[in-house]
Amino acid sequence: MNGTKYVIQKELDRVFKDKKLVFSLFLLPAVLMIGIYLLMGKLINIMVTDVQEHVPTIYVQNMPDGFNSYVEQLNFPGSVIYFYGENVLTRTDEGEKIISTEEIKENIRSGRIDLLVVFEEDFLNQVENYEEGSIIPEIRTYYNPAEDYSEEARNKFMELVINKYKTYLLAKRIGDLNQIMVFDVDRDPAASYVMDETRANAKTLSMMLPYLVIMLLFTGPMNLGIDAITGEKERGTLASMLITPMQRGQLVLGKLLALSILSCLSAVVYSVSIIVGLPDVQKVSAVGNGTVRIEPVQMVWLFIVMVVLVYLYVTIVGLIAVLSKSSKEAGSYISPVYIIVILSGIMTMFAGDFTVDIGMFGIPVYGSAIAIQKITTNELTLAQFGVNVISTVCISAILTIFIIKAFNSEKVMFNV
């Protein structure tokens, strides 16, 4: 086993004695990741505030008597233009102009006007003279759901003006509104949130986390494994170790363990930068500040599941790397594997809450993904954990044996 120790030491030295390599392997990705997320966060923020702060332009056709003063009293944030008939006088950049309702709709389509509200003619009369069984009057809105401004304008206008106006008219007709309300629902809406904070946050976390873990753990082996094995084979430096008395198995184990250690480190770097960088994820995955409480046992399981998964990844990459004749060839075989890995992660995001057959936990990669998902909601059972870890370990062991076989094959090692 001594050989293994020295091989691991050398692989780690290769990385850590080289400042440039440490920078490009660990620091740069972290900085880039945080940078990208911060930028994304900023842009989304700008967009959201922009939509919220936009002063909508709203046209109201055939407004009922007193509607304008009602709106004014509500302090609705927007410029509301009232008109009767088919045409309206507007002020544009080019001066005053008469436009028709058709032209207003055209402007909504192109995003220049946000909303058109049309009251049925004689609206108030129809409301006041309502008799049981007669038809009730209608308000029509025209807006553009493809435009954020327009959609927001309609939502606000409905919520802040039309719904209130409806209640106001109703009160005028009936007097005591309670007669028709029968009961209230939630006078204090905030008081009715009885959700379990852990579960609610964990829901978001459990959606994202398996995907991120499954994907990011693979990047380390992918970036390092090809060079450490195929690269060394190409450069002839691997052969220098093959003529020492060290057994091939020790050499293979040393390489694979060193790759696993480096991959775990780069996984930590990636995870930290995600937590720091992505504000939303930060909120839900700040394990320490009590929003998500993954129980200690499940934490330990999470760690084991991840470590075992890293070793599986390393053996997958290792086998591909050793069988490839050149780094380029290895790269082209790794890409489809990476896609499968990402898909396994994505599948958990859409899998929903359905109960999972225990056998599923034995599927390589995907099994680990759903195990991590269950851990985030503290729902992984010992049996599921066991099936996943044992299956992953067995598959990695088989792959390791294949890699050792490949190292012993002159055909693979020397392309003869």
Partner 1 sequence: MIEIENFTKVYKLSKKQRLELKTRNHIRKAVDGVSLLIPKGEIFGLLGPNGAGKTTTLRCISTLLKPTQGSIRVCGHDTIKHPEKVRKKIGFLTNEIRMDPDFSAKYMFEFFGHLHGLNDEVIGERRKKLFSYFEIEEFQNKKIEQLSTGMKQKISIAVSLVHDPEVIIFDEPTNGLDIVTARSVTNYLQLLKEEGKLVLISTHIMSEAERLCDRVAIIVNGKKVIDGSLEYIMDTTGTRNLEDAFFNLYLQYTERGKV
Ligand X SMILES: Nc1ncnc2c1ncn2[C@@H]1O[C@H](COP(=O)(O)OP(=O)(O)O)[C@@H](O)[C@H]1O
Between 146 and 416, CB nearer to ligand X: 416
Q: Which does 129 bind (CB under 5 to 8 A by kind): ligand X, partner 1, none?
A: none
> Is residue 265 within 8 Å of 26, Cβ to Cβ?
yes
- Which residue has the CB atom at the shortest distance from ligand X? 416
Between 187 and 411, CB nearer to ligand X: 411
Q: Where does 87-227 show beta strands of DSSP type E?
A: 87-92, 95-100, 115-119, 139-143
Q: How far is the CB of 252 from partner 1 (least distance, A)?
A: 14
Q: How far is the CB of 269 from partner 1 (least distance, A)?
A: 22
Q: Which does 237 bind (CB under 5 to 8 A by kind): ligand X, partner 1, none?
A: partner 1
- Which residues from 356-415 bind ligand X, rule CB under 6 A? 415
Between 79 and 244, CB nearer to partner 1: 244
Q: Which does 92 bind (CB under 5 to 8 A by kind): partner 1, ligand X, none?
A: none
Q: Tokens 């060394």 belong to which residue?
A: 232
**Secondary structure element (H or E) that encloses residue 116, with its range:** strand 115-119
Cα–Cα distance between 58 and 396 in angstroms, integer? Answer: 65
Packing angle, helices 296-323 and 382-408, rounded to 10: 20
Is 416 near ligand X (CB under 6 A)? yes
Q: Tokens 């759901």 belong to which residue?
A: 145
List the beta bridge partners of residue 82: 60
Out of 242, 323, 342, 346, name the contact with partner 1 by CB under 8 A. 242
Q: Which does 190 bind (CB under 5 to 8 A by kind): partner 1, ligand X, none?
A: none
Cα–Cα distance between 342 and 360 in angstroms, integer? Answer: 17
Tokens encoding 66: 């007193």
Burial of 395-406, coded b for 16+ CB within 10 Å and e otherwise, reads bbeebbeebbeb
- Which residues from 208-237 bind partner 1, rule CB under 8 A? 232, 235-237
Q: Tokens 């790269």 belong to which residue?
A: 331
> DSSP readout, 304-330?
HHHHHHHHHHHHHHHHHHHH-SSHHHH
Q: Which does 410 bind (CB under 5 to 8 A by kind): partner 1, ligand X, none?
A: partner 1
Q: How far is the CB of 233 from ligand X (least distance, A)?
A: 13
Q: How far is the CB of 301 from partner 1 (least distance, A)?
A: 37
Q: Tokens 């691997």 belong to which residue?
A: 238
Is 416 near partner 1 (CB under 8 A)? yes
List the beta bridge partners of residue 88: 99
Sign of the torsion angle spanned by Cα atoms 34, 36, 42, 44: negative
Out of 45, 49, 244, 381, name the contact with partner 1 by CB under 8 A. 244
Between 166 and 235, CB nearer to ligand X: 235
Out of 62, 87, 204, 247, name the contact with partner 1 by CB under 8 A. 247
- The candidate with the shortest Cα–Cα distance to 222, out of 275, 270, 278, is 270
Between 303 and 414, CB nearer to partner 1: 414
HSE-CB of 223 using CA atoms within 13 angstroms: 18
Between 20 and 411, CB nearer to ligand X: 411
- Which residues from 20-49 bind partner 1, rule CB under 8 A? none
List the beta bridge partners of residue 80: 58
Q: Report how far apart, in Å, the C-alpha atoms of 351 and of each of 203, 211, 213, 383 are.
A: 12, 12, 17, 20
Q: How far is the CB of 148 from partner 1 (least distance, A)?
A: 53
Out of 2, 75, 179, 335, name the contact with partner 1 by CB under 8 A. 2
Q: Which does 79 bind (CB under 5 to 8 A by kind): ligand X, partner 1, none?
A: none
Is 236 near ligand X (CB under 6 A)? no
Which residues here bind partner 1, judged by CB under 8 A? 2-3, 6, 10, 13-14, 18, 232, 235-237, 239-247, 410, 413-414, 416
**Binding-site ranges for ligand X (CB under 6 A):** 415-416
